[in-house]
Amino acid sequence: MSLKRMGKGPMHQRRRVILLFGAGIVLPSLLLGYLAFRGIQNDRALLEKERLEKTRETADRLLKTVDAEITSVESALAKLVAGHSGTPGADWAVALETYASDRPLVEQVFYLQDLEDIRFPIACLLYVPDGRRESSLSLSGLPVLPAEFQAAQRLEFQENNYPKALAAYRKAQSGTSDPRLAGIVLNAIARTQKKSGLLKDAISTYEQIAREHGAIVVAGGLPLAPSASLEICHLAREIRDIPKALQMSIGFYRSLIRREWMLERAEFDFFVGRAKSLIEELLAGKAAGIELAPWQKEFRDLQVEEAEGRLRADRAAVFEQDAAPTLAARIAGGREASNPTFTSPTFTRLALDIANVTYLVSVERLAAQTANTPIRAWGVIIDAGRLRENVLRPALLDHFPSGEMSWEVKARDGAVLLSSGNPASWPVVFRTSFSSNFPDWTLEFRQPPPRLIKTFLLSRRGLYSFVFLLLAGILVFGLVLTIRAVSHELELARMKSDFVSTVSHEFKSPLTSIRQLAEMLQSGRVPSEDRRQKYYDVLLEQSERLTLLTDNILSLAKIEEGRAEFTFETTDISALLSGVVASFQERVRHEGFDIGLEVGDALPLLAVDRTALSQAVTNLVDNAVKYSGDSRKISVSASLKGETVAIAVRDFGVGIKKEDLDRVFERFYRGGDALTRTVKGSGLGLTLVREIVAAHRGKVDVESEPGKGSTFTIRLPLPQREGA
């Protein structure tokens, strides 16, 4: 930076720069940023709309998936029904059973007899309603009991003569060939054996009955097997055969639940009740050596199975009893309404509420109706639980896999049937239900509102916006840099103007005194020789000062403009220092300064620019003199310190404050201390020293303590082997 260019109106300039920058760059970039922000917000709304659209489409596909499952159940039934005619009989059974077992969604298949009675042709229910079995089994009455059997009964019941009764029964048994009669007789034998304490015999007889005559039906259509099995269980316990008793009773319970025999509800309840209390007693008792845990587990599992079976049976019973009128009305109505001449089978889907139980029913209205086809409609009850768990849940997970979307399936009463488990605080974005409300559930989709940042990254304008924001950022950064640069310039300008005033003063005051003294000497008005000598000293000092100042300014200007030329000559540093010190001694002698010089032995010769280095040391000594305060002692020394020659100038004066230490070498910088301020100076001396030392590839540093003095040290590197 040239010394000639001085800052002019720095404050004004600064304001102008900032104004220009603000108007030309910051404002437009802020506007851009705002536009970008608006753009992002628009994009967010758009994105939200798109997302909703996507959700809607996905939900539609999902509903169709569920619908397709139901349709496949319906069309299979339609096909099956079309392939058969007349009342469902044995020929239907296999096909219907395959149909139902192949389709887990089928809870029950039914038909409407004369549009009045509901029938479950293949219902595998735990029990049939009371009084229903007789009608389904055509019993030809009990067989005629032979005379021997009646005689044995008399011996057993009237005379209580069991041995004789047993013998009589056996006789009756050998005489019969009717299998039903054989079963009845065996039953009597087992009973008599039990009465006469032949428990083991009784067990094996009951086992034989269960094995060979279990299906024999006695009064009321009840088969022999369940009673025989129950007897075996009790007898086994009575003879303390606990393992057998457990095995038999759990087996019996299992057979009951797995519908080994067709029982009416009261019978089922009776047998199940007996079996369960027996099992509970056995499990509660401490039977040595038997591992009970597996039995307990099986018992628990069976109880669950029983509960499910009962639910199904009860649902079927209620449906059978009460649904027919509603169904008939809906089918008839639907038919009228849809198409009076329809010919193709169509299914009507209904979510029926009967006695507080919901049934998902799909009924096919049959087209072909002749006098001898009393069945007018077939239907299927859809298993809502399975529809929910096996169809809807996987479909939901499949269509809405991520945690981005939360969904809930709600029943008509608002109860949550399925849930994705995401936060329920998200707003509902979309609600839908199944076509014709079948099943009668609502699907709710929730989503967190799209994040601004995310939108920003996702949006098509994101890149532009990003660039805008980046631009704005860069501009703000630029603004900060500019302000800093301007402040720096201002500071420099201030220092320069300080410089101008101090330097002009620096020139002026010695010149004035030189002139005055010279005039006085010339006019011969100085009387004594002594006085004249003093005036010569002052003249010399002042002109030296002027020389130093001019030298400093010129040298620094040369160095900064790159015009400085250094001539390196091999020099004895000791001699160079002696010269500087001697000339100073001369100059400041009248002020009482004592400048000591100490040079270590074996100081090598160095290649230096003598004038420049002398100027540097002169500056340091001059500073030492200027900032000595009341102290009058200064020491200059040179010594070998490792790979360098250290030239130190030490004073015991005012010292330098810590915060100034780093800055004293800066151009125009002058210490902020009031004391130092009273000393004249240009702030250029140390800068020049630094430049000169740098030209010698050396370094200059300072150590100082306020009030105690300072030491400036120039460190010059030794020549590297063969000359520097």
End-to-end CA distance of the chain: give it in Å, rounded: 30
CA dihedral 165, 169, 175, 181 (to 10 degrees): 140
| String of contacts with ligand ADP for each residue 294-313, x by CB under 6 A | --------------------
Stretch that binds ligand ADP, among 105-113, 376-384, 467-475, 685-693 (CB under 6 A): 685-693
Distance separating alpha carbons of residues 457 and 594, to the nearest angstrom: 77
Distance separating alpha carbons of residues 215 and 387, to the nearest angstrom: 37
Residue 514 CB, shortest distance to ligand ADP, in Å, is 20
Name the residue nearer to ligand ADP (CB basis): 233 or 620.
Answer: 620
* Structure token digits, residue 692: 């000169």
CA dihedral 403, 406, 410, 413 (to 10 degrees): 130
Distance separating alpha carbons of residues 312 and 309, to the nearest angstrom: 5
412 backbone dihedrals φ, ψ, rounded to 5°: -60, -35
Distance separating alpha carbons of residues 379 and 363, to the nearest angstrom: 4
Taking CB under 6 A as the criterion, the residue among 121, 214, 309, 685 binding ligand ADP is 685
Name the residue nearer to ligand ADP (CB basis): 111 or 627.
Answer: 627
| String of contacts with ligand ADP for each residue 438-467, x by CB under 6 A | ------------------------------
> Would you tell me how many other CB atoms lie within 10 Å of the CB of residue 513?
15
Residue pair 703/684 in contact by the 8 Å Cβ criterion: no
Taking CB under 6 A as the criterion, the residue among 376, 670, 690, 715 binding ligand ADP is 670
Name the residue nearer to ligand ADP (CB basis): 264 or 651.
Answer: 651
**Alpha-carbon torsion (526, 532, 536, 541), positive or negative:** negative
Alpha carbon separation from 204 to 39, 91, 241, 403 (Å, rounded)? 91, 39, 14, 64
Distance separating alpha carbons of residues 701 and 274, to the nearest angstrom: 109
Stretch that binds ligand ADP, among 39-47, 379-387, 529-537, 669-677 (CB under 6 A): 669-677
Name the residue nearer to ligand ADP (CB basis): 493 or 700.
Answer: 700
Name the residue nearer to ligand ADP (CB basis): 231 or 622.
Answer: 622
**Interaction between residue 545 and ligand ADP (CB under 6 A):** no
Residue 622 CB, shortest distance to ligand ADP, in Å, is 8
Closest CB to ligand ADP belongs to which residue? 671
Sorted by sequence, the CB contacts under 8 Å of residue 646 that are 6+ apart come out as 638, 639, 640, 713, 714, 715
Distance separating alpha carbons of residues 605 and 599, to the nearest angstrom: 13
Residue 607 CB, shortest distance to ligand ADP, in Å, is 26
Name the residue nearer to ligand ADP (CB basis): 360 or 656.
Answer: 656
Taking CB under 6 A as the criterion, the residue among 125, 664, 693, 695 binding ligand ADP is 664
Name the residue nearer to ligand ADP (CB basis): 39 or 653.
Answer: 653
Residue type (1 letter), 123? A
Taking CB under 6 A as the criterion, the residue among 352, 682, 691, 700 binding ligand ADP is 682
Largest distance between two CA atoms of the chain = 188
**Interaction between residue 559 and ligand ADP (CB under 6 A):** no
Sorted by sequence, the CB contacts under 8 Å of residue 142 that are 6+ apart come out as 218, 219
Stretch that binds ligand ADP, among 106-114, 287-295, 523-531, 650-658 (CB under 6 A): 650-658
**Interaction between residue 683 and ligand ADP (CB under 6 A):** yes
Taking CB under 6 A as the criterion, the residue among 588, 623, 638, 693 binding ligand ADP is 623
Residue 599 CB, shortest distance to ligand ADP, in Å, is 21
**Interaction between residue 654 and ligand ADP (CB under 6 A):** yes
Name the residue nearer to ligand ADP (CB basis): 188 or 654.
Answer: 654
Stretch that binds ligand ADP, among 167-175, 210-218, 512-520, 624-632 (CB under 6 A): 624-632
Name the residue nearer to ligand ADP (CB basis): 225 or 686.
Answer: 686
Name the residue nearer to ligand ADP (CB basis): 456 or 669.
Answer: 669
Name residues contacting ligand ADP, limited to 96-125 (CB under 6 A): none
Name the residue nearer to ligand ADP (CB basis): 33 or 685.
Answer: 685
**Interaction between residue 676 and ligand ADP (CB under 6 A):** yes
Q: For 240, what's the count of Cα atoms within 13 Å in the CB-facing half-sphere?
A: 3
Residue type (1 letter), 88? P
Name residues contacting ligand ADP, limited to 365-394 (CB under 6 A): none
**Interaction between residue 544 and ligand ADP (CB under 6 A):** no
Residue type (1 letter), 392? L
Residue 702 CB, shortest distance to ligand ADP, in Å, is 8
Sorted by sequence, the CB contacts under 8 Å of residue 582 that are 6+ apart come out as none
Residue showing tokens 């030392």: 693
Taking CB under 6 A as the criterion, the residue among 493, 656, 692, 693 binding ligand ADP is 656
**Interaction between residue 646 and ligand ADP (CB under 6 A):** no
Residue type (1 letter), 654? V
**Interaction between residue 653 and ligand ADP (CB under 6 A):** yes
Residue 714 CB, shortest distance to ligand ADP, in Å, is 13
Q: Exposure string (b/e) for 648-659, b if CB count within 10 Å is 16 or more?
A: bbbbbbbbbeee
**Interaction between residue 681 and ligand ADP (CB under 6 A):** yes
Region class of 475: left (phi > 0), else alpha (psi between -120 and 50), else beta: alpha
Name the residue nearer to ligand ADP (CB basis): 606 or 686.
Answer: 686
Stretch that binds ligand ADP, among 204-212, 288-296, 457-465, 674-682 (CB under 6 A): 674-682
Residue showing tokens 């074996």: 602
Applying CB under 6 A, the site for ligand ADP has a residue count of 22
**Interaction between residue 691 and ligand ADP (CB under 6 A):** no
Residue 511 CB, shortest distance to ligand ADP, in Å, is 18
Distance separating alpha carbons of residues 35 and 541, to the nearest angstrom: 72
Name the residue nearer to ligand ADP (CB basis): 403 or 596.
Answer: 596
* DSSP state string for 648-699: EEEE-SS---HHHHTTTTSTT-----HHHHHS---S-HHHHHHHHHHHTT-E
**Interaction between residue 510 and ligand ADP (CB under 6 A):** no
Residue 630 CB, shortest distance to ligand ADP, in Å, is 13
* Structure token digits, residue 539: 């003249």
Stretch that binds ligand ADP, among 4-12, 239-247, 565-573, 648-656 (CB under 6 A): 648-656
Long-range CB contacts (within 8 A, 24+) of 413-419: 417/388, 417/441, 418/388, 418/392, 418/393
Taking CB under 6 A as the criterion, the residue among 33, 627, 648, 700 binding ligand ADP is 627
Name residues contacting ligand ADP, limited to 244-283 (CB under 6 A): none
Taking CB under 6 A as the criterion, the residue among 66, 313, 616, 624 binding ligand ADP is 624
Distance separating alpha carbons of residues 599 and 621, to the nearest angstrom: 16
Length of the chain: 724
- What is the binding site for ligand ADP (CB under 6 A)? 623-624, 626-627, 651, 653-656, 664, 669-671, 676, 681-687, 710
